[in-house]
């Protein structure tokens, strides 16, 4: 009887303190190359005006704690802002550090997560300022966010990036730069998620930089894992698997490629990828 009474007392105390069980640490994170909204509508029937409602449908159905977007332009983000009242957004335009060019935006559910801090680094020789690196065709950035889980108070870092699609040196050096960020003492204090369109298969040697700082490929960490291709080219190009998640100091419960039916054939030229993780 004393044991039962003590157990009930501790349970009540934990509830009053707002403490959480391991189940409360489970989070869903999505990475999604949204495909930019082209001014001259080069995508025709697959253009953003025909896709945007289905993108919102996907997010509402999945209800991620956070979603990292690649290629999003300011008009697309403003539309999503209006449709996702439970989410806040961070990130900057890569071409000027404000609103010009593609964003590596992160949306986070404010009922789940509190944003502690965030920053942007350009994947270049001068990462603190707007700049293009090495042989890259475009400005490339990584958005670095630290989040606190509201219920438990635990924190984690989420890095959202898009490596260059042309420059081989830029991809390799960009991965090294991200690894250097994650090798800092501050970054080692909390679990880490890195996700994005890497424009590289998982076998590419550029990811050795990630592995050297303790990151693991999320697909390889669970038996419940999808190996469906992630780049589709709207069904016109050869498919490939170039979108990835890497994690450190957390458990991956599930990895999925979101190739389901959201009302149209393609919500982008990439499928979103999703991980369920436990801190």
- What does the pLDDT look like over 185-223, one tens digit per residue? 788 899 999 999 999 999 999 999 999 999 999 999 998
State the distance between the two ends of the chain, measured CA to CA, in whole angstroms.
34
b (16+ CB within 10 A) / e for 161-197: bbbbeebeebbbbbbbbbbebbeeeebeebbbbbbbb
Look at 17-21, 67-71, 201-205, 208-212 and tell me which has the smallest mean pLDDT: 17-21
% residues pLDDT > 90 (the chain): 86
Other beta carbons within 10 Å of 106: 26
Going by pLDDT thresholds of 50, 70 and 90, the confidence category of residue 113 is very high
Sheet of 87-90, strand order = 87-90, 106-109, 66-70, 26-33, 273-278, 251-257
The pLDDT assigned to 24 comes to: 54
Indicate whether 42 pLDDT > 90.
yes
The pLDDT assigned to 83 comes to: 98
């Amino acid at each position: 009887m004393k044991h039962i009474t003590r157990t009930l007392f501790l349970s009540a105390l934990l509830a009053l303190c707002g403490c959480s069980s391991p189940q409360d640490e489970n989070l869903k994170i999505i990475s999604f190359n949204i495909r930019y909204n082209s001014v001259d509508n080069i995508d025709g029937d697959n253009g953003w005006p025909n896709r945007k409602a289905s993108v919102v449908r996907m997010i509402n159905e999945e209800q991620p704690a956070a979603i990292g977007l690649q290629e999003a332009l300011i008009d697309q983000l403003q539309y999503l802002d209006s449709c996702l009242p439970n989410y806040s957004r961070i990130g900057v335009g890569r071409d000027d550090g404000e609103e010009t060019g593609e964003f590596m935006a992160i949306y986070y559910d404010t009922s789940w997560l509190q944003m502690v801090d965030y920053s942007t680094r350009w994947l270049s020789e001068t990462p603190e300022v707007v700049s293009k690196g090495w042989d890259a065709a475009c400005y490339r950035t990584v958005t670095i966010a630290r989040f606190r889980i509201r219920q438990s108070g635990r924190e984690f870092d989420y890095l959202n990036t898009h490596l260059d699609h042309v420059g081989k040196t830029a991809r390799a050096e960009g991965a090294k730069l991200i690894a250097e960020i994650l090798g800092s003492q501050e970054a080692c204090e909390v679990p880490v998620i890195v996700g994005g369109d890497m424009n590289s298969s998982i076998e590419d040697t550029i990811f050795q930089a990630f592995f050297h700082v303790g990151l693991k490929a999320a697909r390889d960490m669970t038996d419940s894992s999808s190996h469906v291709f992630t780049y589709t080219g709207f069904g016109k190009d050869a498919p490939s698997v170039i979108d990835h998640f890497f994690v450190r100091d957390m458990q991956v419960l599930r990895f999925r490629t979101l190739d389901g039916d959201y009302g149209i054939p393609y919500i982008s030229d990439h499928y979103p990828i999703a991980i369920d993780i436990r801190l």
